[in-house]
Amino acid sequence: MKFNSFIFALLLVSNSIFAIEKTTIRIGVQATGTVAWELAALPENPDADFELAIQKLANPEAGKVALQSGAVDVIVSDWLWVSRLRSTGADFTFYPYSSTSGALMVPKDSPIHNVKDLVGKRLGIAGGELDKNWLLLQALAQHEHLDLNASVEKTMGAPPLLNEQILQKRVDALLTYWNFAAKLEAQGYRQIIDGKGILKGLGITENAPALGYVFKQSWADAHKQALKHFLAATSQAKNQLCTSDKAWHEILPLTQTEDATSPAALRQHYCEGTVSQWGEKEQQAAASIYQLLRQLSKDQLTGSAETLDAGTFWVQ
């Protein structure tokens, strides 16, 4: 009996010694953002070598502050910001999360059917003068010998406020973020062009990501295996949300929608943003977009670096 007790105690000690030591990944997340959807849909895996410590963020800027201060290890942001920080000596790096970007929306019965039709109209612009979609839309207009900046009456503001503006017919068209565009689409509004369409019009056909997970290269090197497993788990969660109605229904409260049509539009555009290919061609496309935005913003958006920093994209 004593021998059996000894063996049992020895097994307990052995199990504790060889138990998986979990890496805590501190991730900053907006409560209403799509990252929160994926984290809620993560597959249960008691043997995972990571655990999440989720810190809620008020907005994207709060996430950038939290990451730079060391309060979190990971956020979702854009590679342009990463490259700009790297040019100042920071070691942040980027892994693709979504290729979905903004869209130009108009009422269903609007006479606006293309970019040229915006001339003389009232245009709402989410994100301000340096918004990437706004800069690229201007570049597309220039291909048609049109100075869009001088040809429209601009209204800048936060996406929720601008959605109200177009609902109240105070603007004729709205260039806004994809999720706010999806909600308008669910109410019968019509898309003129989206971010991918703008890029194709500018000759960039590869599907470059708009957003990605951002973290320090040094932190990634120290926790590579756990980070790779976390990224694989989030990819699996996204796939579940896009293929399983049950999984989607479970995260519906996080979408903060009250009508019957908005969830379907949100799901469609969210799933369209899945990054299925990420290699040299896509990274070259990002480098081309960088050059465009650098010229269009006169270095205000990119910083003074002439090219996209070589370490911007994380190499596993």
CA distances from 276 to 8, 208, 271, 282 (A): 48, 10, 11, 11
Instruction: Quote the pLDDT of residue 20.
Output: 62
Q: Cβ distance 287 to 307 under 8 Å?
A: yes
Instruction: Quote the pLDDT of residue 11.
Output: 43
For 162-172, write each residue's pLDDT tens digit: 999 999 999 99
Read off the pTM: 0.90
Asked whether the predicted pLDDT for residue 1 surpasses 90, the reply is no
List, in order of start, the domains of the chain with CATH numbers.
2-99+209-256 (3.40.190.10), 103-201 (3.40.190.270)
Q: Distance between CA atoms of 224 and 105, rounded to whole angstroms?
A: 41
For 235-256, write each residue's pLDDT tens digit: 999 999 999 999 999 999 999 8
Asked whether the predicted pLDDT for residue 8 surpasses 50, the reply is no
222: amino acid identity, one letter = A
Q: Cβ distance 212 to 96 under 8 Å?
A: yes
Backbone angles phi, psi at 315, to 5 degrees: -100, 115
Instruction: Quote the pLDDT of residue 315.
Output: 87
